[in-house]
Amino acid sequence: MGLSKVYGAGDTRVVALDEVSVSFARGEFTAIMGPSGSGKSTLMHCAAGLDSASGGSVHIGDTELTGLADKALTRLRRDKIGFIFQSFNLLPTLTALENITLPMDIAGRKPDKAWLDTVVDTVGLRDRLGHKPTELSGGQQQRVACARALASRPEIIFADEPTGNLDSRAGAEVLAFLRRSVREMGQTVVMVTHDPVAASYADRVLFLADGRVVDEMREPTSDAVLERMKQFDAAGRRS
Ligand SMILES: Nc1ncnc2c1ncn2[C@@H]1O[C@H](COP(=O)(O)OP(=O)(O)OP(=O)(O)O)[C@@H](O)[C@H]1O
Ligand SMILES: [Mg+2]
């Protein structure tokens, strides 16, 4: 709540987040939109504990992230949070399956076999599990990254422009998968995107501008999102 992030000081001071208060309901798919530099990635990184806030607090379930010691934070990130990056971040020497289970292998945890099967089938990668990332298409690589985020059953998944590097067909595969993980597995997903079509897969859209949440839309359609973005552009030019 009241989350702030300030970079630098004096002349180079940037308020990336200005007392943002948001919550992400369990089992809901939220898209975050806004102009470049509006603070979307900063919000995701602070909410996921990848970066520390300058003020305010972050809660995941009953746990307050802010103020946790490094070790506890690392454990919480590992157990409760999944992160999907724009650039997949897969290890090239490992197979798809090894990439998916890597975080759990590092943590010394045994994957729940039945759950892993469900995840693999949902991403539709059963016949590609032995392939290395270079032997997979972009969409397939990103689906491996999605499976990796889901495999440990995190409480929440953050995805920063997960379809930014994909063509529209591969992007649609990944978006359909994220939506299915919310609908069928009760997953909570927060996704940054610039694309109104991608946003339309979500249950709600938060619009950020200058480090603040300036609007929210439920049951978005791509047309409605596009309209809203045009209004913001016009308002931006007037001020
Ligand atoms: N490490 C940093 N040091 C200083 N300023 C930063 C740093 N990271 C981000 N900023 C600034 O904070 C603001 C918000 O950045 P952020 O990356 O959150 O934007 P964004 O909405 O994700 O943009 P984009 O759509 O381009 O990814 C920007 O003005 C940016 O220049
Ligand atoms: Mg960003």
Segment 191-229, tens digit of pLDDT:
999 999 999 999 999 999 999 999 999 999 999 999 998
Give the integer Cα–Cα distance in Å for 16 and 14.
Answer: 6
Q: Tell me, using a 6 A CB cutoff, whether residue 193 lines ligand 1.
A: no
CA dist list (Å): 110 to 83, 103, 107, 113, 134: 20, 10, 9, 8, 27
**Domain harbouring 201, CATH code:** 3.40.50.300
Residue-number span of the structural domain to which 143 is assigned:
3-238
Average pLDDT over residues 23-27: 88
Q: Tell me, using a 6 A CB cutoff, whether residue 5 lines ligand 1.
A: no
Ligand 1: which residue has its CA nearest to atom 11? Answer: 16
Residue the block writes with tokens 């997903």: 189
Tell me, in angstroms, the distance from the centre of ligand 1 to residue 41's CA: 7
Q: Which of 154, 143, 26 is nearest to 82 (CA)?
A: 154
Residue 14: what pLDDT?
Answer: 87
Ligand 1: which residue has its CA nearest to atom 26? Answer: 36
Q: What is the pTM of this model?
A: 0.89
Tell me, in angstroms, the distance from the centre of ligand 2 to residue 191's CA: 11
Q: Which residue has the higher pLDDT, 208 or 4?
A: 208
Q: Tell me, using a 6 A CB cutoff, whether residue 60 lines ligand 1.
A: no
What's the number of domains the chain is made of?
1
CA angle at residue 94 from 157 to 119, to 5 degrees? 40
pLDDT higher than threshold 80 for residue 238: no
Average pLDDT over residues 140-154: 90
